[in-house]
Chain A
Amino acid sequence: MDARDHGQAMPGPQPRALQVAGVSQTVVRRAAGQTLLYGTLGVLAVIFLVPYLWMIMSSVKPAVEIFKYITPVSWKTFIPETFTLDSYRELFQLVPFPFSRYLLNSIFVATTVTVLSLIVNALAAYAFAKLEFPGSGVLFGVFLATMIVPFEVLAIPLYIQVRSLGWVNTYQALIIPWVANPLGIFLLRQFFQEIPRELEEAARIDGCSYFGAFRRVVLPNSIPALVAFALIRFQASWDAFIWPLIAAPAAEKRVIQVAIASFVTEVQTRWDLTFAASTMATIPIVVVFLILQRYYVQGVIMSGLKG
């Protein structure tokens, strides 16, 4: 299929197959192929979207209705008989802390990590990309090497360290260890290197300091890379689970992921609340992703193929 489709997309000479084979036969075969293709894609899209549909729809049903119409599967499995926002209302009245507390904890932590990491890693990336200094290769190598070490291996010593600092159940514990990020330094350095030296030199001749050139020339020319990195960081921080579970389990500092997990593991499973909380943790991220998809995909591919 590949070769022929490419051929047709190109304005150049038509592939032989079309000229030689009878037109009707080709048309029939093509129609069959198209049906199969879209049929497969349709089934796949359903498989990928049904869990979300079920989650969102169950969050606006009364608790008793959630498992009432599972078998046989029908429209009632998804569409609520009685539409209600009770589970959301109850989430925001939970004791000792309303769900909004966990939501705000997550927003605060993820935003702070993202902002600090942009600053710290962009500065370091600029130094590696533009300021030649002795030993830069070795230092960069050491930074990159730490990327290999999975967080799971560091969890225990990090916890012991954070505990000795008296940081258990604090925001610092959730933020500070995640600011410096070798992957970010790597991605931004790649991008900064491609900014023409002349641009920066012009700024320097006009009397800018290195920092001035960084702020006025390098940063404004790197928006796509900065947005991609910010998205990756925000999502990583928003989704982080093992570390907050270990380092800040207290209800007061709980982030949204740990709070949802506690619905499943601690509370006698309240399905309605679980669905509502899951919906709230998911929708904002998915919406942001859909809007900024272009940057995000670029970031994924950058970190993927070059990393």
Chain B
Amino acid sequence: MLGISGIRRQRYQTAAAFLLPATIGIVLFALLPIAQAVRISFFDYSLLNPEQIPVGLQNYEQALKDPVFQIALKNTLWYTTLLVIAQTAAALGLALLLKQQVRGLAFFRSAFFIPVVTSLVVISTVWKLMYNTQGIINGFLQTASLSPQPFLTSVDQALLSLVAMSVWKDVGFYMLIFLAGLQAIPLELYESAAIDGASKWRSFSRITLPLLRRPAVFVTVVGTISAFKVFTPVYLMTDGGPADSTTVIVFYIFRTAFRYFQMGYASAMSVVLLLIVVAFTLIQFRLLRTTVDY
């Protein structure tokens, strides 16, 4: 028979064995690379030349001075701001529409959700063709007697076109989050509000909106973080152009690392990206810590 300590030892050994594969994976493919990214950012390191020369903060100084990095930051901020506002509003709108005991609910919910489960590569490809001068969007515009638009080939419209496509792609995901939030609101609240003679708008602004705080925080913060990392549509649809008008941070990092092979400089920019993302995540944790009870 095993004694108490024997049982405990057996449990620890089992735990260690069960955790081993996951731990190895996380150490090798998450923790070590994070440390590496920070380390490389202090080196002049090109894949073409295996020698690594320590340069201190030079890569970070370069980032501060590099006009293209500034443009990339500005574009990323614009893209993120526009996308988060548009997709949060659209997601809430769709969730409220579907909350109306709609007939064919499953059909509409699936229709809005299909882009979420379609790969971004496919969506970027198809939308690139849709945005084409002879594409179907211009077809609809001309059919409605409107003038055709340049979309992706215009410095003014390219980034906006990417935002519009991204709203279409992701809104179904955020809609689900809002729908779940709406379903969690007890019906009695609306009933007692109706008995008290509250108008629809009043019960919406006094009950629905405040109780959607958690999903709303989630949708904005997760949306912000994911928008900050946008890459695929830029790579496939505009290659950062025209005239760097859609060059965003991750795309510029990719170009620096895998087209110009400047791993050190690209890593320094990655670390900047990491700090931004961590900051937003901490904000999320803070905002979500205080829960509203109802």
Contact = CB atoms under 8 A, between A and B. Distances in A.
Interface of A: 1-7, 9-10, 12, 15-17, 37-38, 40-41, 44-45, 47-52, 54-55, 67, 70-73, 77, 119-121, 123-124, 126-128, 131-134, 136, 139, 142-143, 146, 148-150, 152-161, 176-180, 182, 185, 209-211, 214, 235, 238-239, 241-242, 246, 257, 260-261, 263-265, 271, 274-275, 278, 281-282, 285-286, 289-290, 293, 296-297, 300-301, 304-305
A154 B267 CA distance: 9
A161 B34 CA distance: 12
A122 B119 CA distance: 26
Contacts of A185: 22
A235 B281 CA distance: 24
A44 B78 CA distance: 26
B176 A285 contact: no
B112 A154 contact: no
Contact of B126 (A40, A54, A150, A177): A54
B267 A70 contact: no
Given A7-B191, A152-B270, A260 B121 contact: yes
A154 B96 CA distance: 38
A180 B22 CA distance: 5
Given A77-B139, A176-B29, A278-B126, A285 B194 contact: no
A16 B277 CA distance: 50
Interface string B7-47: 00001101110110111111011111110110010000001
Contacts of B115: 48
A77 B127 CA distance: 16
Given A131-B14, A296-B117, A305-B218, 8 more contacts: A41-B108, A44-B94, A70-B139, A120-B21, A143-B26, A241-B121, A282-B118, A305-B214
B197 to A, nearest CB: 8
Interface residues of B, number: 104
B280 to A, nearest CB: 9
A278 B187 CA distance: 44
A41 B97 contact: yes
Contacts of B24: 180
Given A48-B115, A54-B130, A77-B139, A177 B29 contact: yes
A204 B30 CA distance: 35
Contacts of A71: 138-139, 142-143
Contact of A242 (B127, B254, B270): B254
A180 B21 contact: yes
Contact of B122 (A157, A265, A282): A282
Interface in B217-239: 218, 222, 225, 229, 231-232, 235-236
B121 A210 contact: no
Given A67-B134, A274-B125, A124 B18 contact: yes
Contact of B30 (A12, A126, A146, A304): A146
Interface in B252-294: 253-254, 257-258, 263, 266-267, 270-271, 273-274, 277-278, 281
Given A143-B26, A157-B33, A158-B29, A241 B19 contact: no
B105 to A, nearest CB: 10
A16 B12 CA distance: 63
B194 A150 contact: no
Contacts of B172: 48
Interface stretch (B57-65, B81-89, B152-160, B200-208): B200-208
